[in-house]
Structure 1
């Protein structure tokens, strides 16, 4: 209800003001509605309007490349993303054909566990069980998924050659195709609203387990050096997690364009960390917000000067990468 209210308020805000006020509206670029980043941005933007008097709305795009381009090209001010994807976007490597030098990290938001999930009725419980079964591939509109699924398969002792590849364009479509039976598994972040929707429609889903040890850690870090493992325990919001499980994880970060004024960065960070209880209540995965761990060094990317000023004023020192 809180999320729906935030979306409605954002729409009313933009529609109800004249052109001179609209010019002052800032935006979050996100993937399509139903994705975890879109949900997180909606909650943060709603709190920024309610308690921070910020004119902040959410603008969905088709995928990561588009939403990063929007921030880099000053079409949006903020976004949320996997730090690995931000690094490759800044470099112009991987799926990014052109460097995006105007992206700046603002804060580490939370660890972001991801996995492959299946229908409960499939009988599969581990990623290794996918050998010879179908896995979503392609991801033309959401290319970040290619590296994540590569890492998940590696953590299960598999490669793309061990599975049947079924092309899907993006996250929501991938889950819909799994629900319809077109593909045996789907990829999504733990706690994603879409996973709960599919769970209700197919009579139950479960995430597939991986082996978390030094050998598999080395495998996933060959794919992306910032990947690591975390244990996730069952909770109502974590649909598909039936027992404590290890997941491939990365750091989810808040980022901004270099064009965003320092005071706007500090204003948003003040909302994020001073109102973290309200934000976590609206979307439980954001209960992981922690000021003490939010200022972390990453290779190949810079922090926005406004973020540096905010953390220095709060007495928070930058923690090393790793």
Structure 2
């Protein structure tokens, strides 16, 4: 179908939906977080805009964790993934679950990211436990999501803010994000990580236990440094959107880009270009259709983030006049970082160490250090 500014003209074209400003397949698939999550709800809203504007059917496949969201992308079974720092930054780094011998550093490329700033990504606690600070989590039951390093590292970072580690709490394992929040409502756990605007958080707030978000004090530099030593992408932020937050003066917590729409370096440049273009040009159609969705706007993009942008997205940014020489230099440096990690991984594979996890953790840090790059994790 052809999408025009003022009218629609319908035509059949070998299964593709062709727009005046963008050309995409008539059927597409993304992976996203669990149903009920902010990422899933936003992907559905974007899909509705694509359907209304150009007849494009976007299938959103919920994934319980970073691995299950990234595997279909790696296999080419979906075009893109709406993920978080786990499926983007940690996948690039070959860290945590992505350090397993069957994974390794992934050539992730970003198209757009939700940098709204209206939400926080933080640890919420049951309102009936009397937990007021992150230090109060000592001895409490804290959710740990199997196969979701981003969620778990973020939770660990908030524990560190409170001067705690996983050893100071009772770690309760769940198979997915949604299950952890069901566990909070049903008194199986006392704390879990989420975006403040996730549907699960709203459900918890309306449940019998209630919901409370312990605050972050940006002036407590030592506590913030402990948090950022675990998760360097977390920054103090005032949220105005979310469960128990809507209609208030805001909640002082921390956040980062979420969701992040990613591809790989093998994704066709024209496809990435047109998907980026569609996301930007259809923004007025999906803006306001899900909590926190405003952060997808072009003027909210961080062109010097921690994962490189796809060449197709960069082509669109250049046409829109929002890409700079500094952004290109930063992007090139990030690609070099990925190449350093990949080379270290391939060299270690040839050695076939008996204890892969320990060997890769050491080799990874060694390779980054020798290249003069920041050593994270």
Could you state the TM-score of these two structures normalised by the residue count of structure 1? 0.83
Residue 4 of structure 1: aligned partner: none
Instruction: Say whether 1:269 aligns with 2:276.
Output: yes
Higher Cα radius of gyration: 2
Residue 63 of structure 2: aligned partner: 61
Q: Which runs of 5+ in 1 are unaligned?
A: 1-18
Residue 161 of structure 1: aligned partner: 167
Residue 88 of structure 1: aligned partner: 90
Aligned counterparts, 1:2-81, within 5 A:
25-81=27-83
Residue 308 of structure 1: aligned partner: 314
Residue 249 of structure 1: aligned partner: 255
Pairs aligned (count): 298
Could you state the TM-score of these two structures normalised by the residue count of structure 2? 0.71
Residue 211 of structure 1: aligned partner: 217
CA spacing shift, 1:53–1:256, aligned 2, 3 Å? farther
Residue 206 of structure 2: aligned partner: 200
Question: Aligned-pair RMSD on alpha carbons?
Answer: 2.6
Measure, in 1, the Cα distance between the counterparts of 2:160 and 2:290. 31
Instruction: Say whether 1:106 aligns with 2:111.
Output: yes
Task: Spell out, residue by residue over 1:126-163, the C-alpha distance to the aligned partner (whole angstroms, 9 max, x if none).
Answer: 222222222113x2143321101011111223222222
SS of the aligned residue for 1:282 comes to: coil
**8 Å Cα contact 1:295-1:311 kept in structure 2:** no
**8 Å Cα contact 2:28-2:59 kept in structure 1:** yes
CA spacing shift, 1:209–1:166, aligned 2, 3 Å? same
**8 Å Cα contact 1:277-1:287 kept in structure 2:** no
**8 Å Cα contact 1:220-1:228 kept in structure 2:** no
Shift of 1:182: 1.6
CA spacing shift, 1:290–1:20, aligned 2, 3 Å? closer
Residue 130 of structure 1: aligned partner: 137
Shift of 1:210: 2.6
Measure, in 2, the Cα distance between the counterparts of 1:108 and 1:50. 22
Shift of 1:78: 0.9
**8 Å Cα contact 1:295-1:316 kept in structure 2:** no
CA spacing shift, 1:90–1:203, aligned 2, 3 Å? closer
Residue 10 of structure 1: aligned partner: none
**8 Å Cα contact 2:180-2:192 kept in structure 1:** yes
Task: Spell out, residue by residue over 1:198-254, the C-alpha distance to the aligned partner (whole angstroms, 9 max, x if none).
Answer: 222226322122332322232122112222121113x4xx11336532223122221
Residue 303 of structure 2: aligned partner: 296
Segments of 4+ moved more than 6 angstroms: none
